[in-house]
Amino acid sequence: MSKIISITILLFISHALYSQENTGCDTVVYFVVEQMPLYLGDYNTFLENVSNQIDAETNSLLKNNNTNVNFQITCKGEAVITSTNSELTQFYNVLENELNKLQWIPARHNFKNVTVQSILPVRMINNKLNIPINFKGVRGELVKCKITDESSGIPVSNVRLITKYNDCSYFSNQYGEVEFYCEEKDEIEISHINYQSFSFSAPENASSFQIKLTNIVYELEPVDLTKYSPNKLPYKKSTCSFESWHETKQNQFMILGMGDFYAPELAVFNGGYECLDNYIVLEFVLPKTASEDNYTDTVDISFTIAEDGTLKNIVLSKTLNYDIDTIVRNIFVEMPKWKPATQARQKTKQSFVLKLIIGNNKYWEKYYG
């Protein structure tokens, strides 16, 4: 059984207008960002126009050599060739001019337009020019959407929106706003680690609409303290240090095609959920009076893992006898930091609920005997 079970949530979609933020422009050059550049226009026309302007000398150079052209799509939506081979200067000028006849949508990163560096592999295949563009072309109309939390009305940032026909990813900004291109009746997928993923058809004749989401609470597998004790851990083979999670320097590079660089990640106890169970068993102490009375009970503990990995909003579903609720609460209050959840590589809080089954067993009988 999966260690984590998602609790179903509701969704509600309603039409609404909203104001678009003033677009910032970041001049730092990136290789991989949340939303890569897109273009509007016909690729075949672009390739034909370039081919028609190549002279015999350039054609010979390209035919006899594999040429890779460095270029940028700037934060202002301009294509700029950055390669400097003097023998191909005229070709670079032609290529840059034709690239700029396409309509470029700048890349987006951390809610700003940014400049992205890439490579155009130029090849002559069967005497025909081949220049695959590593960015996606889009079709359809520009649509605006605002995404908010259903219960609070607060905008939700970093929500991922994917259009099926164009197969492009977009992310909502800090105001919950996202602009995207889609065709009529396109399938749109919405996902965020703290909300239910779902798909819907693009509303007809709607240039702007609103989506409302409800939070997910992740339910962890119950821990049965009547079966385990400090001498009998649930996962004996797990290597657990029980130290707070510390952030290490992460690799900011990605090999294209090797997984999803911006895939969400759940919050996790340092060492994994098995170490979480071991930690609770090691830290829990059943009071002597509860052992003598063969006390048994169950309680749900809800809590939130904050962006820094600390536990917040710790709530027990009921009061337990023998002051056991205080013992349980202290276990979570003093618990080491978790690795926080991420959405689009940005840390985000995440809510959990864990059921504890509490009661006497042979360990406590012997311990107090």
Angle between helices 89-99 and 56-64 (to 10 degrees): 90
169 falls within a domain: yes
Q: Which residues of the chain have pLDDT under 50?
A: 1-22, 252-258
Q: Are 33 and 226 in contact (CB under 8 A)?
A: no
Last residue of one domain, picked from the residues 193, 215, 237:
215
Q: Domain tally for the chain?
A: 2
CB count within 10 Å of CB 156 equals 25
- Per-residue pLDDT, 14: 34
- Cα–Cα distance, 356 to 360 (Å, whole number): 13
Tokens of 340: 């926080």
- The answer to whether residue 89 sits within a structural domain is yes
Q: Are residues 208 and 60 in the same domain?
A: yes
Residue pair 363/291 in contact (Cβ under 8 Å)? The answer is no
Residues 355 and 276 both lie in one domain: yes
What is the pLDDT at residue 205?
Answer: 78
Q: Do both 211 and 231 map to the same domain?
A: no
Residues 211 and 310 in one domain: no
Same domain, 145 and 174: yes
Neighbouring-strand partners of residue 118: 71
**In this structure, what token pair is assigned to residue 299?**
């309680």
Selection from 76, 152, 62, 143 nearest residue 114 by Cα: 76
Q: Which of 215, 244, 277 is the last residue of a domain?
A: 215
Q: In 3D, which of 102, 160, 109, 113 has the Cα closest to residue 136?
A: 102
Q: What's the pLDDT score for residue 369? A: 82
In a domain, 59, yes or no: yes
CA distances from 130 to 13, 90, 268, 289 (A): 44, 18, 47, 81
3-state helix, strand, coil in the chain (%, to 5): 20, 35, 45
Residue 159 within a domain: yes
Answer whether residue 35 is part of any domain.
yes
| Residues 171, 161 contacting (CB under 8 angstroms) | yes
Predicted local distance difference test score (pLDDT) of residue 258: 41
pLDDT of residue 111: 86
At 265-297, the pLDDT tens digits run: 999 999 999 999 999 999 999 999 999 999 999
What pLDDT, on the 0 to 100 scale, is given for residue 24? 64
Based on the fold, state whether residues 299 and 333 are members of the same structural domain. Answer: yes
281 shares its domain with 324? yes
Segments forming the whole domain that contains residue 338: 218-367
Angle at 188 between CA 173 and CA 146, to 5 degrees: 30
Enumerate residues 6+ apart whose C-beta is below 8 A from 5.
218, 219
- Cα maximum dimension of the chain: 97
Please report whether residue 3 resides in a domain: no
Q: Where are the alpha helices (DSSP H) in 65-105?
A: 89-99
Bridge partner residues of 11 (DSSP): 213
Same domain, 205 and 246: no
CATH number at 114 reads: 2.60.40.1120
pTM here is: 0.82
| Position 1 in a domain | no
Residues 249 and 155 grouped into a single domain? no
- 88: tokens are 């191909």
On whether both 193 and 314 belong to a single domain, the answer is: no
Final residue belonging to a domain, choices 185, 215, 245: 215
Position 253 scores a pLDDT of: 47
Backbone φ, ψ for residue 234 (5° rounding): -60, -35
Asked if residue 223 and residue 193 are part of one domain, the reply reads: no
The residues pairing with 35 across neighbouring beta strands, listed in sequence order, are: 108
CA distance 9 to 215: 7
Shared domain for 292 and 174, answered yes or no, is no
The verdict on residue 2 lying in a domain is no
DSSP β-ladder status, 208-213 and 141-149: parallel
Number of helices followed by number of strands (H, E) in the chain: 7, 25
Alpha-carbon gap, residue 325 to 329, rounded angstroms? 6
